[in-house]
Chains A and B, each alone.
Chain A
Amino acid sequence: MNRRPSAKIAAYVGVAALALLAGLALGRPELVAVAAPLAVLVVAGLASARDPELAAEVAVDRERALVEDQVTVTLTLRTAARVERLEVLLVVPPGMEGPDGARRAWATAVSLAAGEQRVLPIELTCRRWGAYWLGDVHLRAHDRFRLFTWERHLDRHAPLKVFPVPDALRTLVTPVETLVSTGGHVAPQRGDGIEFADLRSFLPGDRPRSINWRATARRGDLMVNQRHPERATDVVLFLDSFLDVRGPGGSTLDRTVGAAASLAAAYLRQRDRVGLVSFGGFVQWLQPGGGQTALYRLLDTLMETQVFATAAWKGIRHLPPRTLPAKALIVALTPLVDERGVAALFDLLARGYDLAVVDISPLAQAGSGDGQWGELATRLWALERETLRHRYQRLGAAVVEWPDALHLQQVLLEVEACRRRAGLAPG
């Protein structure tokens, strides 16, 4: 530990020396009586000061949590010598909150007897999703007379991933095309399934249980039911993280990541394969996969999503082909602010992908401009965004604006209605 003398030592010793010299020069024992206590305290402090030889360990009770969960950071302290006052300061990363609502750091001061082991459990509340490193602790020990301090810094080493709480989604965007594997979407093809499709005449090889006896009686010929099979699909979540518009009520990136987590969980529950393409300063992708493992991989990747300013941009053509399967439904979550993200969506449409765009409106976060010109600028911006959405719609994409007040489910229902009108989804 690093030992530092306090400013008090210099003050005490300096004043004592001056008083002694003055007492000597003036021949006044009173000045010696004034100086002596200060000098004695310094000597006593020097004699009693010992390096506390402090040992400290940091542990976090879990590695994964949900937003608004409480995480306990346990700090174990051991000391060889008595510590009169030990300041413990835990750095609280942005997005987390310490006890008593501490935002940047939480600190306490304790005393430790020689050889004592003390365990300090510190409750942190996860306020925002993200990948965190916990355990950044500063320790400062004081001696009895507060003449010396010993300082130590514990490096951060406990990882914690905080996931957004997925919204319960009952209706999802239905894909145009499906895979051959069984899933939760009604495929347009005919086959074994539950959803009734049509009637046709009996053919050799048809199962007797498919015979529709009522239609057979009416037509005088054996008729069988045809059904739509339930199939899985590939869904690719396309995240535009070029820019984050932040306001008092939240940020577009937070809503993007929250929506992506909700959609991923909902599609995976339907046995679909879900992939991810995160377009921002750097590009991240995950090939479509299914099951719980894929969900954790997706969430882990989502946690690393952040705005990273860069001018180097290569476009979607540099993505591995398997990342964007030909029949995949692409659900884009974008604030439609950065031109590179806007252009990437046009690129996807030009390649014939089944694209649904959720336009995460940044208007609420940006706020309306001050004065007449500010209001005019806000209206012009809103008009520009509307024009852009129309351009996407003309090219065959379903685009719906997601204002701050709406629930994601309502937006998805609007997307579905939009696709139905365009003939992209079964009516």
Chain B
Amino acid sequence: MPAPRRAGARLACGLAATAVAAALALAPLAQVGGALRDLLTWVAGFGLVLAGAAALRVGSLLGPALVVLLAEHTVVLAGRGDRVDATAPLVGAGLLLYAELASWAREARPRVHDEPPVLVARMIVVAASALAALGIGVLVLLAANVPAGGGLARLAVGVAAAIGTLAVVVVVARPTSTRARRG
């Protein structure tokens, strides 16, 4: 496959990721008004720039881009009152889809020729991940509406989940070597 076509695949993934990020960044603006809307517009713009840069050029900006996009939704949710936002699973799936497409764009190096089965498998994994994310989000929201103990139990579960997540970071964020383990 000639190099321009491979560069095209990378660009297509990057642009698709940016489009998803744009949808995620612009969606909250419709739910607010006044000064908050102005503030969120700036946040959305910043998040979009970060997301585009992460997808097309600087892979290390993926985390900050996700944080800014999440922060925008958090601000909207904080001012929403008691009503549950049913679109949250879509936001979760969208964030995951954006991150997967952005990392795919970084992975598709112009010099590397991916065989068709590799591309098809990757496409299936990305699509399945997004669908699974949607399903998990719906399940979480459904579970949240089930009366399960008092506030203390829910707090304990939340704290355990947060600590567990951080523990995962510590465990996996170090490189290992097969050779070193054998030696």
Contact = CB atoms under 8 A, between A and B. Distances in A.
Interface of A: 1-24, 26, 28-43, 46, 51, 53, 84-85, 87, 89, 100, 102, 105-111, 142, 144-147, 150
Given A15-B66, A36-B136, A20 B165 contact: yes
A108 B178 contact: no
Contact of A3 (B3, B118, B176): B176
A30 B168 contact: no
Name B's interface SS. Answer: helix
B129 to A, nearest CB: 6
B91 A109 contact: no
A17 B63 CA distance: 12
Given A8-B99, A29-B144, A24 B77 contact: no
Given A7-B60, A29-B141, A35 B92 contact: yes
B95 interface: yes
Contacts of B73: 30-31, 34
Contacts, number: 197
B57 interface: no
Contacts of B109: 107
B92 A33 contact: yes
Nearest to B95: A34
Contacts of B134: 37
Nearest to A20: B162
Nearest to A5: B172
A339 to B, nearest CB: 44
B66 A17 contact: no
B155 to A, nearest CB: 7
Contacts of A33: 88-89, 92, 136-138, 140-141, 144
A20 B158 contact: yes
B99 A12 contact: yes
**Residue of A10, A23, A40, A109 most packed against chain B (CB within 10 A):** A109
Given A14-B169, A33-B137, 16 more contacts: A5-B173, A6-B103, A10-B169, A11-B62, A24-B155, A32-B144, A36-B92, A38-B95, A41-B96, A53-B178, A100-B3, A105-B111, A106-B111, A107-B112, A109-B115, A110-B115
A153 to B, nearest CB: 12
Contact of A9 (B1, B122, B155, B172): B172
8 contacts: A11-B62, A19-B74, A23-B158, A29-B141, A33-B137, A84-B121, A105-B111, A107-B111
Interface in B146-178: 155, 158-159, 161-162, 165-166, 168-169, 172-178
Interface string B107-146: 1010111110110011001000100111011101100110
A373 B50 CA distance: 53
Contacts of A40: 132-133, 136
Task: Give 3 closest A-B pairs by Cβ, nearest first.
Answer: A37-B133, A29-B144, A30-B88
Interface size class of B (residues with CB under 8 A): 35 or more
A46 B172 contact: yes
Contacts of A85: 107, 114, 118, 121-122
A24 B173 contact: no
B96 A146 contact: no
**Residue of A26, A34, A43, A85 most packed against chain B (CB within 10 A):** A34
A319 to B, nearest CB: 47
Nearest to B62: A11
B103 A24 contact: no
A416 B85 CA distance: 96
A2 to B, nearest CB: 5
Given A4-B175, A34-B92, A37-B96, A13 B59 contact: no
A404 to B, nearest CB: 32
A390 B30 CA distance: 89
B84 interface: yes
Interface string B9-47: 000000000000000000000000000000000000000
A36 B78 contact: no
Nearest to B87: A30
Contacts of A3: 175-178
Nearest to B176: A3
B141 A11 contact: no
B13 to A, nearest CB: 12
Nearest to A42: B168
Contacts of A21: 162
B70 interface: yes
A26 B74 CA distance: 9
A36 B118 contact: no
A107 B113 contact: yes
Contacts of A142: 107
Interface string B70-86: 10011001101000110
B93 interface: yes
Contacts of B155: 24
